A and B are shown apart, each in its own frame.
Chain A
Amino acid sequence: MTTIEKLSRRGFIVKSISALSTVYFIPDILTSVHAAKPLSEEVKSDTKWAMSIDVDKCAKGCTACVDACVEENGLYGFDRPETDSQWIRKLTIKDIKTDKVKVVPMLCQHCENPPCCDVCPTGASFRRIDGIVMVNQHTCIGCRYCMMACPFKARSFVHENLTEQVTTAPRGKGCVESCNFCVNRIDHGIPTTACEEACMKEGHKAISFGDLSDPNSRVSQALKTKQNRRLRADLSLKQRVTYSNI
């Protein structure tokens, strides 16, 4: 014979409230893992956005990251590859000793000592305190000094009137622009860039993005497990975008 313990009124209330509270609190705990900044708060220097790219995992012929960037930032062009904006592009490099060919995604390297900001006459090129190098298009006069200063050719100039900009990425004629690590996403608490998301969805996982000061972030893990190097390290620009297996 089993005896069913009768639940007292008080016991019922206490148990149901505690059960409900776990249901209520768990989602809060889950979202706090990413520690998203509240929208009203300014960015802080203890966040260090960075990216690590494993060149061996980057597939030849795949343009998922480039397409995702175009989609995210509304970078439609005029079918003029010489002047159309490119925030991320794929380069093919060849080792002169071994003839080994590799493809490398090239984007703004988000230097800690950015030469573009050094030469900007209006201060429109600036490094945000969390490490993102951006163009303040409200003060950019389109002189293109930064494009000449950048050793990675990462910046583009908008030559023509645009009409189909997306809300999250304002851009227009007469301004220089470049990758901004999907700053709108980051500020809204999405801890990934469009290119990284696309690369992961493709299953290549060549791009790892994240916060350097978080030891569990994807970029920190990538830096720990693989030997990363900066391009043109001789310039000591201390880029936040690093490459492995290059």
Chain B
Amino acid sequence: MYQLAMRLLLVIFFLISPDIYSHDGINHSIKGKSKADDAAQCVEPTEIMQKEHFVFLYHQRDKTVINGVRTKNHSFANCIDCHVSYDEVGKPIPINSEGQFCQTCHVQTAVNIDCFSCHASVPRGRKPEAHISFNYNHLENQVQVPHEIEELVSYVEGIK
């Protein structure tokens, strides 16, 4: 009976071990704090995102570059905006640096992609949607005092 129990324990041990130790016992935590930490779920269920995020990105990338579709859900810029971590002083940590969101899994799965040789690895520059509600008419209506008119006025006054 004792032997049987031991064997059963061994079998159970071998069955569940790969799941427990797949990260060598290291906890899957990322330095810093990101917007995604507070979100209940990503744009799709987590299991789908883990397996298929690149499919969404590939699909969206051609739609964006060629057809000008700029929806945020599967947009690369939006992934970074949400998943990038900020350190204690509020400075964004590059998402592809060690121990960060993209890199942790890609190291584990030996995936080496070069998104960030072109794309910004932290949100940088003008926000894409920053000026949407901005009314540009004021630029056209801006009263312009060209120096030609001033010159003309002074010229005419000189004649008098």
Q: Please give the residue numbers on chain A whose beta carbons come within 8 Å of chain B beta carbons, in ascending order.
A: 30-31, 34, 36-37, 39-43, 72, 74, 126, 128-130, 134, 136-138, 161-162, 164-173, 175, 183-192, 197, 200-201, 203, 205, 218
The CA-CA distance from A203 to B139 in the complex, in Å, is: 9
**Which residues from A are CB-within-8-Å of B81?**
167
A190 touching B132 in the complex, CB below 8 Å, given contacts A175-B118, A201-B139: yes
A188 touching B125 in the complex, CB below 8 Å, given contacts A170-B118, A197-B139: no
**Which residues from B are CB-within-8-Å of A34?**
136
Q: Is the CB of B118 within 8 A of A187?
A: no
Q: Is the CB of B144 within 8 A of A205?
A: yes
A188 touching B124 in the complex, CB below 8 Å, given contacts A134-B65, A165-B118, A172-B117: no
**Which residues from B are CB-within-8-Å of A165?**
118-120, 124
Interface of A is mostly: loop
Q: Is the CB of B120 within 8 A of A167?
A: yes
For B72, B132, B134, the residue with the greatest tally of chain A CB atoms inside 10 Å of its CB is: B132
The CA-CA distance from A50 to B69 in the complex, in Å, is: 20
The CA-CA distance from A172 to B66 in the complex, in Å, is: 19
The CA-CA distance from A123 to B92 in the complex, in Å, is: 36
Of B63, B125, B133, the residue contacting A166 (CB under 8 A) is: B125
**Taking CB as reference atom, which chain B residue is nearest A134?**
B65
Q: Is the CB of B126 within 8 A of A41?
A: no
Q: Scoring B residues 120 to 132 as 1 if CB is less than 8 Å from chain A, else 0, what string do you get?
A: 1001111111011
Q: Could you show 26 A-B contacts with beta carbons less than 8 Å apart?
A: A31-B133, A39-B70, A39-B71, A42-B67, A72-B125, A74-B125, A126-B66, A128-B67, A128-B68, A130-B68, A138-B65, A162-B117, A162-B118, A165-B120, A167-B77, A167-B125, A167-B128, A170-B118, A170-B120, A171-B118, A183-B68, A188-B70, A189-B132, A191-B136, A200-B142, A203-B142
Within 8 A of A (CB), among B114-160: 117-120, 123-129, 131-136, 139-140, 142, 144-146
**Taking CB as reference atom, which chain A residue is nearest B114?**
A172
**Taking CB as reference atom, which chain A residue is nearest B58?**
A138
**Which residues from B are CB-within-8-Å of A166?**
120, 124-126
Q: Is the CB of A187 within 8 A of B134?
A: no
B contact residues, range: 35 or more
Q: Is the CB of A164 within 8 A of B61?
A: no
**Which residues from A are CB-within-8-Å of B61?**
138
The CA-CA distance from A169 to B134 in the complex, in Å, is: 21
**Which residues from A are CB-within-8-Å of B62?**
138
The CA-CA distance from A186 to B68 in the complex, in Å, is: 9
**Which residues from A are CB-within-8-Å of B118?**
137, 162, 165, 170-172, 175
The CA-CA distance from A17 to B119 in the complex, in Å, is: 49
**Which residues from A are CB-within-8-Å of B93?**
none
Q: Is the CB of A30 within 8 A of B135?
A: yes
Of A138, A167, A191, A203, the residue contacting B124 (CB under 8 A) is: A167
Of A31, A129, A168, A175, the residue contacting B128 (CB under 8 A) is: A168
The CA-CA distance from A167 to B128 in the complex, in Å, is: 8
The CA-CA distance from A31 to B125 in the complex, in Å, is: 25
A58 smallest CB distance to B (angstroms): 13
**Which residues from A are CB-within-8-Å of B124?**
74, 164-167
**Which residues from A are CB-within-8-Å of B68?**
37, 42-43, 128, 130, 183, 186-187
